[in-house]
């Protein structure tokens, strides 16, 4: 039922840790699709090694490196998805062992899900990358410094899912590195807007259009925990342009974009 989509670009060391965290999931996805925004052969070799050793159905969707085109490569990946439910992360995310189990538990027709993340420090990230010992929840909790976002409390997750950061100024609060939605809902708004290139607002734009289409938002707190490896920030040079595209969509009240996923569908 669940397709896990992992976006990556030229950081195989981080992707290896991400895939290591996949091995420890209490619930395995139907398939994994790695959405590769133009990485080199090093990433390809890592993925091939994982495919041959994991026994998990993994596909590698790649396009050439022509700058930051996250919206496009995610659309290309999701177009290929066989699962009816998409859980989406980035290749620098390490998943709590019950990450996918929690997403399955909270999924509900008529809703998409926003999740939070635990921001790891530069020091903790470097130690995780250098130490090749098997990844475990204890190492992740150590790396997080037991921050609030690292705590998994199942009954709180269920109690807060329709109360926490779902309305008012938080209605569009979402991180593309930890979100989930039904594929059919994604297709109904034509997926990501590929007019948005470079870093910023592609996830907020998608959330806005899902809301306008009648899909409501849930927020998973104290569950589906994602540990985010530290890295230098991506260039913000397209931020203002992307904001204008997203803002125009909000003002127009539309939810279907012309430059989206439909071109990749059979």
**One-character DSSP codes across the chain:** -EEEEEEE-S-HHHHHHHHHHHHT-SS--SEEEEEESS--HHHHHHHHHHHHHH-S-EEEEE---SS--HHHHHHHHHHT--SSEEEEEETTEEE-TTHHHHHHHH--TTEEEEE--EE--HHHHHHHHH--SPP-HHHHHHHHTT-GGG---HHHHHHHTTTSS-SGGGTT---TTEEEEEHHHHHHTTSS-TT--SSSSHHHHHHHHHHHTT-EEEEE-SSS-EEEPP-PPPP-TTHHHHHHHHHHHHHHT----SSSGGGG--
The 10s digit of each residue's pLDDT in 235-261 is: 888 999 999 998 888 777 789 999 999
Rounded distance between C-alpha atoms, residue 31 and residue 266, angstroms: 19
Q: How do the pLDDT tens digits run along the chain, 266 residues long?
A: 999 999 999 999 999 999 999 999 999 999 999 999 999 999 999 999 999 999 899 999 999 999 999 999 999 999 999 999 999 999 999 999 999 999 999 999 999 999 989 999 898 888 888 876 666 666 676 667 667 778 899 999 999 999 999 999 999 999 999 999 999 999 999 999 999 999 999 999 999 999 999 999 999 999 999 999 999 988 888 999 999 998 888 777 789 999 999 999 97
Q: Cα separation of 215 and 253, whole Å?
A: 14
pTM above 0.75, yes or no: yes
Q: What is the model's pLDDT at position 146?
A: 62
pLDDT at residue 141 in the model: 67
Pairing between β-strand 93-95 and β-strand 226-228 as defined by DSSP bridges:
antiparallel
Beta bridge partners of 4: 32, 87
Question: What pLDDT, on a 0 to 100 scale, did the predictor assign at position 252?
Answer: 78
Q: Would you state the pLDDT for residue 140? A: 73
- Look at residue 136 in the predicted model and tell me its pLDDT: 67
Q: What is the pLDDT of residues 192-201, one digit of tens each?
A: 999 999 999 9
Per-residue model confidence (pLDDT) at position 127:
86
Residue 9: what pLDDT? 97
């Amino acid at each position: 039922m669940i397709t896990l989509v992992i976006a990556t670009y030229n950081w195989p060391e981080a992707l290896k840790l991400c895939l290591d965290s996949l091995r420890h999931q209490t619930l395995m996805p139907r398939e994994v699709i790695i959405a590769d925004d133009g990485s080199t052969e090093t990433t390809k070799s890592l993925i091939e090694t994982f495919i041959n050793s994991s026994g998990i159905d993994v596909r590698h969707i790649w396009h050439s490196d022509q700058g930051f085109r996250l919206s496009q490569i995610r659309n290309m990946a999701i177009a290929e998805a066989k699962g009816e439910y998409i859980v989406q992360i980035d290749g620098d995310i390490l998943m709590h062992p019950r990450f996918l189990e929690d997403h399955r538990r909270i999924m509900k027709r008529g809703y998409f899900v926003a999740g939070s993340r635990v921001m790891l420090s530069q020091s903790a990230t470097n130690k995780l990358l250098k130490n090749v010992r098997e990844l475990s929840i204890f190492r992740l909790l150590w790396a997080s410094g037991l921050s609030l976002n690292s705590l998994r409390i199942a009954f709180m997750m269920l109690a807060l899912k329709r109360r926490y950061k779902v309305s008012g100024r938080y209605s569009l609060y979402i991180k593309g590195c930890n979100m989930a939605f039904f594929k059919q809902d994604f297709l109904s708004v034509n997926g990501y807007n590929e007019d948005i290139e470079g870093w910023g607002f592609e996830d907020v734009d998608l959330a806005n259009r899902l809301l306008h289409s009648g899909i409501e938002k849930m927020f998973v707190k104290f569950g589906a925990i994602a540990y985010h490896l530290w890295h230098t920030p991506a260039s913000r040079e397209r931020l203002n342009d992307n904001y204008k595209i997203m803002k125009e969509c909000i003002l127009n009240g539309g939810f279907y974009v012309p430059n989206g996923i439909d071109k990749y569908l059979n």
